[in-house]
Structure 1
Amino acid sequence: MTAVRILFASCLCLLLGMPLAHAQEPAEVPAPLPLDELRTFAEVLERIRTAYVEPVDDATLLENAIRGMLEGLDPHSAYLEPEAFRGLQDSTSGQFGGLGIEVGQEDGFIKVISPIDDTPAARAGIEAGDLIIKIDDQPVKGMSIMDAVEKMRGEVGTSIRLTLVRGTGSPFEVELNRAVIKVASVRSEMLEDGYGYIRVTQFQNNSGDEVRRALNSLAEGKELKGLVLDLRNNPGGVLQSAVEVADAFLDDGLIVYTKGRLPNSELRFNATSNNPGRDIPLVVLINGGSASAAEIVAGALQDQERAVIMGTDSFGKGSVQTVLPLNNDRALKLTTALYYTPDGRSIQAQGIEPDIRVERARLTQDVEERGLREADLAGHLDNGNGIEEQSGVVGEAAERPQDSDYQLNQALILLKGLNITRAKK
């Protein structure tokens, strides 16, 4: 019965929170230990050790038990072994290996929360909401999310085959080559004269500073009449970075608050006066791949009536995960709090609803021949206004992002309308 006594000691430590040395104890008095369940647990361990068809070492059994405890809580809590822990640290710093998709779990399958821009997954056409049902022909039904992620990671340049289902369609396969994923979390450009665009692909440690630099660069030497902040397919990331991005557009007021059982999980984040976004008209684009930190930004700007939210409903991940390092190069990724928008909304499993719903579509240009105009006729009279007449022959212009992206096109049209309205006041 030595193993049983060892198991009891391990279970007591876990249930009393002893390995979580970096977390504060819950404020409430802990319930008595469930001794009957602990005896059952110890008996199961002993039966497996003595009766299972192949010998299994105690360390493996205990790690499986820990992993099962975490996976049984919610889709985002997990036990991180050394490689997974390092991978998580790499992803928040902006460089990691793999396919470039943020995933969750749904009905036993692996669900794509969002593909990351300019990665193998995005280039292969994988979309938010796709279900991964096989990895290299191995069914993922019942596979833990951490095991699935480990299978998708691998040596750079090696290939992997995913079988996916989109909506009610038939399964389809994509083959991808693993790559070093270098995520540039913020990029920006001018859509038209006076109208800027900032895309945040993921909230990394430095995303707040990058957004401020992008704002200053877009406004340098010119009047910024409007801005599109694109959070589509942004799977989230670092909470503090989301607060900093929202703060770049707010003068004061609450951005987000969190509530949980640990005393240090109840936090409030308020805007400061350091606001490079000033009162520039702002449209925020979201979709079903906008999750977590992206929803914090959209919810704060919506509740504070600072921006118009456009697109489709966001993902609905309203929980906060804390990484709690253990003393053996492992860690727990544990859901410790829920976050709430300034108006007290929890978007958990509901998402942010846009102010203006615009479904995804692709614009195509009408290529019909243009009819003749007066300026095309030989010997036509000058207009006398000193303005050069425009012939019907038009050179081919470079394609702009808004020319094929319907949601972005509608955001730009709305910004122009807001500017006209402001000018008339």
Structure 2
Amino acid sequence: MTVARLTFWLLILASPLVWGQEAASEKSEAATETTVSIPLTELKLFADTFDAIRKGYVEDVSDAELFEMAVRGMLTSLDPHSAYLKDDDYSDLQESTDGQFSGLGIEIGTRGGFISIVTPIDGSPAVEAGLKAGDVILKIDGKSTQGMTTGESSLYMRGEAGTDVTLEIGRAGQSQPFDVVVTRGVINVPSVRSRELVDGYWLIRVSRFQRDSGEEVADAIISAKEKGPVKGLILDVRNNPGGVMGASVEMAGALLDGGLVVYTQGRHPQSDKEYEAAAGDMLPGVPVVVLINGGSASASEIVAGALQDRGRAVIMGTQSFGKGSVQTILPVSETRALKLTTSLYYTPSGRSIQAEGIVPDVVVERATITSIENNRRIREADLRGSLENSGETETQDNEALLQISSEDNQLYEALTLLKGINVYQSSTQRLTDNDLTDNDLTDNEKNNEIQNTNDD
């Protein structure tokens, strides 16, 4: 294919788009002010570059491959999340929303031209191998990831369960890269898990946002209420890379009584949308803490931002990842599509968290807590003949709190905050009740004095 002929076909391909834009502009007053022109110089430059590669590159590359490389290069140059999708990429996208796939169990992105780990998925081979959020994957089985797209790197990391893959990892604080061998497995991770931490205080852990995650959180709340009064709720979206946007709206809506959750804005008018919660808070008046960290991204930040702006929850932990963009799948053929960033999302107060993240109300860094209390100190209960106390529940709660503090200091701080809120509210209510009682007594005394005066 000659340069002139390639340029001709590029002009033919570009013309319908331009003519369509001009036809549409006639129907819009705003568009009529903008002149649309074909970038002839740029198209010729592309054709010249294309022809030079075909003739001069050391290995033979087909025209189809070169065109795909060009398209992929355009998209990856826009932002880290826009991509060119082929058949395998479609399958990967489907698996990520359904929640089952075979591989390592990591959410990946790009950093400095290499593949980076946004977060490892709970219970995955990646977690068992010791991979961490923020790790940079320099090589996969000896192949450099420099310049790779996330889709390409996924092809190398995916494979049959039981097979091994060796990753060369760069980690902050480590002077030299090191190898990690990970055994691939079938990743079938439930997106939502819940448990009662202590009497009436519940933890709901959301590892990623799949299609049914919002409904699963609602079911977990219903189950908790069936077991007794819920005194407080911790919604844990730490190391949650996001997922299906609709699930985040449902999840935030479970704790809001209607109103705005998130809205999106982009260049295209169809990108401007508002998403609102259904009426009816499932836990009215119950204090809520949302735990976030640097691995909390996208849909996680929608939930945290909505509950923070609406004053429904205290956000605790560390600053979130800061992915505030929305990607749309645009098919270009039966087997190809573009994953294109089309809009940014905003919290109810109008904040864009793109590249900024959600700043927690209470910053708590992950740390190892060492108690300075001497557990061997003799207490009343240790003395011979001391009277017993039947407070078994309180003792069990204290033991549970001690275990939580040693395993997860952020979770411990969230639970402590919830208990503190309830103690404060209870004390305030008692003071209010006492004031009302005192006022009633004063009124009765006045009535008695009036009665006595009348008797005299």
TM-score by length of 1: 0.90
2:310 maps to: 304
Alpha-carbon separation, structure 2, partners of 1:347 and 1:128? 20
Q: How many residues align?
A: 411
Q: Given the alignment of the two structures, is residue 244 of structure 1 paired with residue 250 of structure 2, yes or no?
A: yes
> Which residue number corresponds to residue 407 of structure 2?
404
State the distance in 2 between where 1:158 and 1:123 align.
15
Q: Deviations over 1:78-118 (max 9, x none)?
A: 00111011111111111112111111111112121111100
Contact 1:253 1:271 in 2 (8 A): yes
Residue type of the alignment partner of 1:58: D
Q: Secondary structure at the match of 1:104?
A: strand
Letter in 1 for 2:298: S
The answer to whether the 8 Å contact 1:8/1:42 transfers is: no
Question: Over aligned residue pairs, what C-alpha RMSD do you find?
Answer: 2.6
TM-aligned CA distance change 1:339 to 1:322, over 3 Å: same
Q: 2:417 and 2:99 mapped to 1: Cα distance?
A: 33
**1:339 lines up with 2:339 in the alignment:** no
Partner of 1:21: none
Over residues 272-315 of structure 1, what are the superposed CA-to-partner deviations in whole Å (9 max), with x where a residue is unaligned? 21332322100000000000110010000000010000000000
Deviation at 1:184, TM superposition (A): 0.8
For each residue in 1:304-336, what CA deviation from the matched residue of structure 2 results, as whole angstroms up to 9, or x when unmatched?
Answer: 010000000000011001112232222111100
- 2:33 counterpart of 1:31: no
CA contact (8 A) 1:260 1:338 kept: yes
The residue number in structure 1 matching 2:416 is 413
**Counterparts of 2:345 and 2:87, CA distance in 1:** 28
Tell me by how many angstroms 1:162 deviates.
Answer: 1.1
How far apart are the structure 1 equivalents of 2:19 and 2:159? 37
Using the TM superposition, give the Cα deviation of residue 374 of structure 1 relative to its aligned residue in structure 2, in angstroms: 4.5
Query: What is residue 46 of structure 1 aligned with on the other side?
Result: 51
Counterpart residue type for residue 193 of structure 2: R
Q: Residue 198 of structure 2 is aligned with which of 172, 186, 192?
A: 192
Query: Partner of 2:445 in structure 1?
Result: none
2:289 corresponding residue in structure 1: 283
Residues 1:176 and 1:321: Cα distance change in structure 2 (over 3 Å): same
Is 268-277 or 233-242 further displaced after alignment? 268-277
CA shift at 1:7, angstroms? 4.0
66, 69, 88: which one aligns with 1:64: 69
3-state DSSP of counterpart to 1:202: coil
Partner of 1:153: 158
| 1:36-76 Cα deviation digits (max 9, x unpaired) | 00011112112222332332211111111111111110000
When structure 1 is superposed on structure 2, of 415-424 and 129-138 the one drifting more is 129-138
Cα distance in 2 between the residues matched to 1:110 and 1:224: 43
Matched, 1:85 2:90: yes
Give distance in 2, aligned partners of 1:61 and 1:328: 20
With over 3 angstroms needed to count, the CA separation of the structure-2 counterparts of 1:412 and 1:34, relative to structure 1, is: same
Q: Which among 119, 139, 142 is matched to residue 137 of structure 1?
A: 142
Which structure's CA Rg is the greater one?
A: 2
Q: Which residue of 2 aligns with 1:112?
A: 117
TM superposition shift of 1:10: 4.3
Of 254-263 and 365-374, deviating more is: 365-374
Q: Check whether the contact 1:191–1:402 (CA below 8 A) recurs between aligned residues.
A: no
- The question of 1:271 aligning with 2:274 is answered no
Task: Please give the alpha-carbon distance, in whole angstroms, between the structure 2 residues aligned to 1:232 and 1:16.
Answer: 48
* Deviation for aligned residue 1:139: 2.1
1:363 Cα shift? 3.6
SS in 1 for 2:161: coil
What letter corresponds to residue 92 of structure 1 in structure 2? T
- Report the CA distance between 1:141 and its aligned residue: 2.1
1:30 Cα deviation after fit: 7.3
How far apart in 1 are the matches of 2:404 and 2:215?
Answer: 24
Is 1:98 aligned with 2:103?
A: yes
Which of 176, 186, 191 matches 1:180?
Answer: 186
Counterpart AA for 2:75: L
Which residue identity lines up with residue 404 of structure 1 in the other structure? E
- Determine whether 1:125 maps to 2:164: no
Distance in 2 (CA, whole Å) between partners of 1:50 and 1:388 is: 88
Which residue number corresponds to residue 318 of structure 1? 324
What's the CA shift for 1:377? 4.0
Q: Which residue of 2 aligns with 1:261?
A: 267
- Judged with a 3 Å threshold, the aligned counterparts in structure 2 of structure 1 residues 88 and 374 are, in CA distance, closer, same or farther, namely closer
CA distance in 1, matches of 2:356, 2:345: 13
Normalising by structure 2, report the TM-score: 0.84
The answer as to whether partners of 1:11 and 1:38 remain within 8 angstroms in 2 is no
Q: Which residue of 2 aligns with 1:424?
A: 427
- Matched to 2:81, the amino acid is H
**1:125 Cα shift?**
1.8
Which segment drifts farther, 202-211 or 132-141? Answer: 132-141
Conserved? CA contact 1:130–1:167, under 8 Å: yes
**Cα distance in 1, alignment partners of residues 18 and 135 from structure 2:** 37
Q: Which residue of 1 aligns with 2:210?
A: 204
Q: 3-state SS of the aligned residue for 1:277?
A: coil
Q: Conserved in 1, the CA contact under 8 Å of 2:206 and 2:240? A: yes
Residue 343 of structure 2 aligns to a residue in which SS?
Answer: strand
Decide which moves more: 144-153 or 196-205: 144-153
User: Which SS does the other structure have where 1:343 is aligned?
Assistant: coil
**Aligned partner letter, 1:218:** A
Gapped runs of 5+ residues in structure 2? 22-27, 429-456
Task: Determine which structure has the larger helix proportion and give its number.
Answer: 2
Does the Cα contact within 8 Å between 2:322 and 2:358 map onto a contact in 1? yes
Q: Deviations over 1:109-158 (max 9, x none)?
A: 21211111000111222111111112122222222222222211122221
How far the C-alpha of 1:265 sits from its partner, in A, is 0.8
The answer on whether the counterparts of 1:243 and 1:255 sit within 8 Å (CA) in structure 2 is yes
**Following the alignment from structure 1 to structure 2, what is the Cα–Cα distance between the partners of residues 190 and 403?**
17
Of stretches 158-167 and 207-216 in structure 1, the one that deviates more from structure 2 is: 158-167
- Deviation, structure 1 residue 364: 5.1
- CA distance in structure 2 between the partners assigned to 1:70 and 1:389 by the alignment: 63
* Amino acid corresponding to residue 127 of structure 1 in structure 2: K
- In the other structure, the counterpart of 1:214 is 220
Aligned equivalent of 1:230, options 225, 231, 236 = 236
Offset of 1:368 from its aligned partner?
5.2
User: Quick check: 1:315–1:350 contact (8 Å CA) kept in 2?
Assistant: yes
**Residue number among 352, 360, 369 corresponding to 2:358 in the alignment:** 352
Matched letter for residue 413 of structure 2? Q
